[in-house]
Homo-oligomer: A and B are copies of this chain.
């Protein structure tokens, strides 16, 4: 069930990619599909909680399952919020670094989707954890350069505020991928 949730995040990250190249007229449609992906994510989360409620024995500690499902849900929420803000604020052009942010998110989404099936055996998870932490550091660097770019005088203050909120939400998505990896690490620590 975590795999369903992570696959959905891969869908979300592809929609973010699509948004980058989209005409203004195509954005509403992408936002609509993003909303559908977020609802599918909510359903996956609720299915996990429901299963948790009706199971006597669980593969890991209930709290960890809960934390993992919640963090996966957070990623989807942040990605959906980013798309929604681009439409809501009617952003004409996103600064260049946003593309790099989204590429990092897409890579983290792939790694997370690949890692989830390994929760069964706890094999090969160290590499995933290290790589997602590395990607989060990279996202952090891109985010800081983007902020410096926004503040360099080319944009007016209201435009800075709008764009800053979007790049901040994408940074929160990168942080949430790290939270997922850290929860996986916590589970691995307990199982070891």
Interface of A toward B, CB cutoff 8 Å: 49, 52-53, 62-63, 66, 70, 84-85, 88-89, 144, 147-148, 151, 153, 156-158, 160-162, 164-165, 182, 185-186, 189-190, 192
Contacts and interface: CB of A to CB of B under 8 A. Distances in A.
Contact of A189 (B49, B153, B165, B185): B49
Main secondary structure of the interface of A (DSSP, over half): helix
Given A85-B144, A151-B162, 7 more contacts: A49-B189, A52-B189, A62-B189, A153-B158, A157-B158, A160-B161, A161-B164
This chain: copies in complex: 3
B186 A66 contact: yes
A30 to B, nearest CB: 17
Contacts of A192: 53
Contacts of A157: 156-158, 160-161
A70 B63 CA distance: 17
Contact of A88 (B66, B147, B156, B189): B147
Given A153-B158, A158-B160, A161-B157, A66 B189 contact: yes
Contacts of A53: 189, 192
Given A157-B158, A160-B158, A161-B160, A185 B151 contact: no
B88 A148 contact: yes
B49 A185 contact: yes
Contacts of A162: 151
A113 to B, nearest CB: 24
A52 B88 CA distance: 46
19 contacts: A49-B185, A49-B189, A52-B189, A53-B189, A62-B186, A62-B190, A66-B189, A70-B182, A88-B147, A89-B151, A147-B165, A151-B158, A151-B161, A151-B162, A153-B158, A157-B161, A158-B160, A161-B161, A161-B164
